[in-house]
Amino acid sequence: MSLTKRYLDDIQADEEMREWITERGSLFMEEGDEEWQSLQDEYENRIDFPDDDDWDYESEITWTKKQKAYDSFHSQILDVKNNLKKGSSGIVLKMNYSFAVTLMESCLGDMLRGIILSNTHYLENAIKNVPELKNAKFSLIDFYKNDDFVTKFTLQKLAKDYSYHHIQKTVSLYENVIGEPLSKSVSALIADMKDIIDVRHDIVHRNGFTTDETEHDLSYSSVNKAINTITQFVTSIKQYTDAAEAKRIFS
C-alpha cells in the first residue's frame, strides 16, 4: 500500500467516522464535546471482522514484513523537511505539517504490527492487555472458518480501527503490547505531540482555524519545529521498543 493511498484512506476513514458520529449524536452536539468524544470512543472500539474482500490478510502480512517502517519514515520525513523553505506559502506549510503527521501515523501502525508479527510474545501481550482484543467475543465457527484467526483479527483491528494520531491511546497501545512502562523520552513528548495533533486537526477540518475562528499562525520556524518534534517522538518510540526487545532476549 503506497503512502499516498494511506493518506487518502485516512481522510476517507475520518469522514466516515464523522458521519457515523453525526448520525447518532444529538442536535446540539459539537465536535470535541463530551458527547462527541463518547461516540468517537464507541466508533473506534467497535468489533467488526471484515470479509476477506475488504481486508487482504496475506497482502497485509507481506507489506508489514517487507516494510522497514522506521527507516522509511526517517527517509520520507527528511524529504518533507527538505521541501520546506523559508518563504513557503501558507498552503505549502499546511500540507507539510499535515503530511508529517500522516507519516508518523503510518510508521507507528506499521512498527506495531511488525513487532506483533516478530514474536508470539507480543501477540500474547496484545490479546491479554489491549481491552478491545481482551474483551472480544467470538464463536467457534470464527476459528473454524479462519486460519490464524487470532493473528488476523489482531492485525486487522490494529490496522483499521486505531487512529495513531490519538497520542495517548497510541502510547497506551504500545505499552500494552510491549509489556514495559513507557520510557521517559516518550513520556516527555506526549504533551507537545497532542498540541501538534490539535493543530493538524484544525488544518484538515477547518483550513487552519480553531473552533473559535482563530487562525493558526504557521511559519517556516513553527512547522520545522513540529516536524522535529514528530521525528523525535517516533525515534523515541523506536528506541523504547528496541530496548524492550533486548531486555526480553537477554533477561
| Residue predicted with more confidence, 157 or 47 | 157
* Residue 148 confidence (pLDDT): 79
6 belongs to a structural domain: no
Q: How far apart are CA 168 and CA 191, in angstroms?
A: 9
Quote the cell numbers at residue 181: 512502562
* Residue 96 confidence (pLDDT): 92
pLDDT tens for each residue of 151-204: 778 877 777 777 788 899 999 999 999 999 999 999 999 999 999 999 998 988
Spatial CA neighbour of 114 closest among 246, 251, 245: 245
* Residue 50 confidence (pLDDT): 46
135 belongs to a structural domain: yes
Q: Averaged over 229-247, what is the pLDDT?
A: 96
Please give the tally of structural domains in the chain.
1
- Got the DSSP string for 180-232? SPPPHHHHTTHHHHHHHHHHHHHHHHHTTB-TTSPBP---HHHHHHHHHHHHH
Are 70 and 234 spatial neighbours (Cβ–Cβ below 8 Å)? yes
Spatial CA neighbour of 100 closest among 203, 242, 31, 15: 203
Q: Averaged over 27-38, what is the pLDDT?
A: 77
- Reported as a pLDDT band with limits 50, 70 and 90, residue 20 is confident
Burial of 208 (0-12, 13-18, 19+ CB in 10 A): buried
3-class DSSP state of 108: helix
pLDDT at residue 34 is higher than 90: no
HSE toward the beta carbon, residue 245, CA cutoff 13 A: 15
Quote the cell numbers at residue 77: 520525513
18 belongs to a structural domain: no
Q: Containing domain of residue 89, as a range?
A: 45-250
96 belongs to a structural domain: yes
Q: How far apart are CA 107 and CA 72, in angstroms?
A: 8
pTM of the model: 0.75
Spatial CA neighbour of 208 closest among 197, 196, 198, 216: 216
pLDDT at residue 57 is higher than 80: no
